[in-house]
Each structure stands twice: as structure tokens, then as C-alpha cells.
Structure 1
């Protein structure tokens, strides 16, 4: 019985070492072959607004809009695909036809409010992904607030 346990222990140790070697090899190779980081991969030089600094959502939305405008002004992403939702003349852009940044936080206020809905996007998303859902609730009379997480969108 002890020899079986010793064999299993040795096998597990071997397996752990093998997994570590594979992972370190993958990391090393990726580091050597990965493309150079682009401007949009870097953290912006502008400070992103924090919710706690503002008393009203309107104040926050103004500060967020200013931050996003400055940030997008320093980054221009060219695309061969003019068919994406963010593309205008080969330059990717989060600005819609109305001139609004679709990746920014948004507020939808109906004339008569039945209730409220707070929409929070996932880790790799932005408020853009929540706008259609927000529109459904808005049309049914709900106040909708879709917030962009810091460092997202």
C-alpha cells in the first residue's frame, strides 16, 4: 500500500512540475512573440473620475464625458473593417450618430417613473452593451441608470 501511495505522490509531483514548466514556457514564448502594445493598451494619463467625488449623477456624467473625450483624442484606432459598429471611415470610434459616446454611463428618465433600474456591465463590456436593455425598461416607464466601471469602456 505504501508503494502505491509513494507512486501516486511522485506522479502528482511530476504532474505539477510539468504543468509549471508548460506554463512558464508559454509565458516566455508569448512574451517573445506578442505584438507591441498600442496606445489604447496603456493607462490614460488623465485621471478617471470616481463616483464618490460627485453629489449628483449629472456632475459625474459631465466629468466622465470630459475624461472620455480627452482619452479618445489621444488614441486613434484604425480599422480595415468599416462594418463594425464603432467604425467611421476606417477609424474606430465610440461616437454614435447623435454625437454621444456609446461607451459612457447613461441615464434614461421617462415622464412618469414606475421604478428604477441600475444596469452594470460585465468585465469585458461597456455601457454600450446595456443600452438596448435599458431602452426596454425606459419604454415601460422605468428610470434607467447604466454605469461605466472605472477603467472600462
Structure 2
């Protein structure tokens, strides 16, 4: 009886093993077919834009950042816009120069960093957009603040506003370095006036990171206030005891 049960158990195990093996093979085949059926990557997915700002760029001023950005967008034109095939030239393709959604067709191009100056600034405001976003998302707020007397910088964070491939190698340290650069610039523009940061999503996390960095680095301009919109930050439940 025990021998029969052992043989039966072995048959069950073999059947299960074949079933699992068959399922794995089927999933692999389905996965390969799915991957092969996907469309080829477009030029904007493959572009290698090496004129992007990084922490190690050696860029130490907002003017130099803008100059580097100019070279970056020239590279974008050469590697993407100029190489979009006829099949990709559509009215909703932002990389088609005749497209309705091409940001280059608008003036200014809000995908780039911008500065709105005030003759006698009451404050300096840095606008930080979110991940995979661009300065465009906060431009209306920036224009409103500028009309109220603030000098406003809308910073295009590294890796953004160009092509999806720009986000492949960018690090948070690169973005944090850009924030420090922008804040130093704002401080020189508004003298002793207060400095504010408006951060959206990832921009809000960068704002908090910068504010904390000023506690350790006295050379960084201090932040008077921060406005965090849908901040991409997490707060421990234990923080409730901080009060």
C-alpha cells in the first residue's frame, strides 16, 4: 500500500512539474511574441543628448546654465527634429516642426528655463516643476507672481523638456545642483529681499532637500518660505509626536 502511494505521489509531482514547465514555456513564448510585436523605438527615444547639465558640468552661473541649455536644444534639433521620418510628421507630434504641439513654435518656449524680472523686486521666487514635466506647468503662477512684484526663475530641471531619453541618466544630485545654482542667482538679483521656492511634485521634494541643505551649508541662500504643490514626499507617522 505504501509503495503504491509513493508511486502515485511521484506521478502527481511529475504531472505538476510538466504543468509548471509548460506554463513557463508558454509565458516565455507569449512574452517574446509581445516584445517582437511592439513598434520600433523612435528617434526621440534613442537620442543621446550630451549637452545636459550635470553636477559635474562645472557650470556655476545661471547665465552659463542658459548657454548650456541653448546648446542642448540645438542638439535636440539636430538629433531629433531633423531626423523625424515622414511617417512621424503629424499635427500632434511635438517633435514635428509643423506640429500644433511643437513647443518651439511658441514664443517663449516654456519648455526652457525662464526668468521674469521686476524692476524693484519685492522677493525672489524659484519655480520647480515635477518629474517628466517642464517649466510650462508653473508659468501662469510665475507670471502672476511677477506681476505682483517678484523676480521669478522657472528652472528647467536637468533631463527635462527635451526628449524621453533625457531622463535615462539624470540623477537627483544633478537636479539638486541646478536648484542650488538657481537660488544663488536669485539671491544676487533681489539683494536682501526674501527668497521663496514653489515646488510641484518632485520639485517640492527638491525644495525641501534644498531647505535642509541650508542648515548644513551656511553659504547657501536661505529660504524664507516654501509652497509645496502635491509634494512627492513621505512623512513618517511618528511625525505626529513632533508637535
Structure 2 runs not aligned, ≥5 long:
1-23, 162-243
> In 2, distance between residues paired with 1:26 and 1:134?
49
Decide whether the 8 Å contact of 2:52 with 2:158 is kept in 1: yes
Shift of 1:86: 7.9
Q: Which residue of 2 aligns with 1:93?
A: 102
Q: Which residue of 2 aligns with 1:59?
A: 64
What's the TM-score once normalised by structure 2's chain length? Answer: 0.45
Q: Secondary structure of 1:138's partner?
A: helix
Structure 1 runs not aligned, ≥5 long:
1-20
- 4+ residue runs over 4 A deviation: 23-30, 84-88
Cα distance change of structure 1 residues 28 and 114 upon mapping to structure 2, 3 Å threshold: farther
> In 1, distance between residues paired with 2:35 and 2:146?
47
Cα distance change of structure 1 residues 95 and 26 upon mapping to structure 2, 3 Å threshold: farther
Shift of 1:79: 4.3
- 2:153 maps to 1:145: yes
- 2:73 maps to 1:68: yes
1:80 to 76, 86, 90: 90
Decide whether the 8 Å contact of 1:124 with 1:152 is kept in 2: yes
What's the TM-score once normalised by structure 1's chain length? Answer: 0.67
Shift of 1:62: 1.4
Shift of 1:141: 0.9
Decide whether the 8 Å contact of 2:51 with 2:72 is kept in 1: yes
**C-alpha RMSD of matched pairs (Å):** 3.2
> In 1, distance between residues paired with 2:31 and 2:150?
48
For residues 94-131 of structure 1, the C-alpha deviation after alignment (integer angstroms, 9 at most, x for no partner) is 21443x43211111111111112111111121112221
Q: Which residue of 2 aligns with 1:33?
A: 37
Decide whether the 8 Å contact of 1:96 with 1:102 is kept in 2: no
Higher radius of gyration, 1 or 2? 2
Decide whether the 8 Å contact of 1:79 with 1:91 is kept in 2: no
- Flag the structure with higher helix content: 2
